[in-house]
Amino acid sequence: RKRMIKIHKKVNADPLLPQLTTFSYFEGAEMFGCGAGGIHHMYIDGNGYLRACDFIPIRFGDLTKEPLSVVYARMREFFRFPEDECFMKRHYQVIDKALGEEPNRRKVINYDEIVPQIREMRNGNLPKLYKGLK
């Protein structure tokens, strides 16, 4: 992570090089924090499911069956503020357990299957940029 941040800063300081984004820096506590869940970004997968981020295997609804406004509001109930660390990095063990074991391991989880765990998980610290806004 430290090496990638160093490369990120060096490359972006040179106007002759293309811009580089290192998410572990950009979404770290020293910058914007984790913006999953419609704070900075969200993800619609190839099947039309709205997810908080492409790294988080939790789907909040099927946009081919429900309006974006309804599914987005459902997701934002759990992702109200950015946190100082990547959601998946912080909570991978709980999510990994919910996905199950081989050979029946799932690729994604419906939000209603993990609602209690999500509520407990969303209690991280705000990144520096947002402190005082909560």
The whole-number pLDDT of residue 11 equals: 93
The whole-number pLDDT of residue 117 equals: 80
Q: Is 1 exposed, middle or buried (0-12, 13-18, 19+ CB in 10 A)?
A: exposed
The whole-number pLDDT of residue 133 equals: 58
The whole-number pLDDT of residue 58 equals: 95
The whole-number pLDDT of residue 22 equals: 80
Q: Which helix (H) or strand (E) holds 118?
A: helix 111-121
Q: Which distant-in-sequence residues (6+ apart) come within 8 Å of 29 by Cβ?
A: 84, 85, 125, 127, 128
The whole-number pLDDT of residue 96 equals: 93
Q: Per-residue confidence of the chain (134 residues) as pLDDT tens digits? A: 889 889 989 999 999 999 888 877 777 777 788 888 888 889 999 999 999 999 999 999 999 999 999 999 999 988 888 888 888 888 889 899 999 998 889 999 999 998 888 777 766 677 777 776 55
Task: Check: CB of residue 2 under 8 Å from CB of residue 10.
Answer: no
Q: How far apart are CA 39 and CA 79, in angstroms?
A: 7
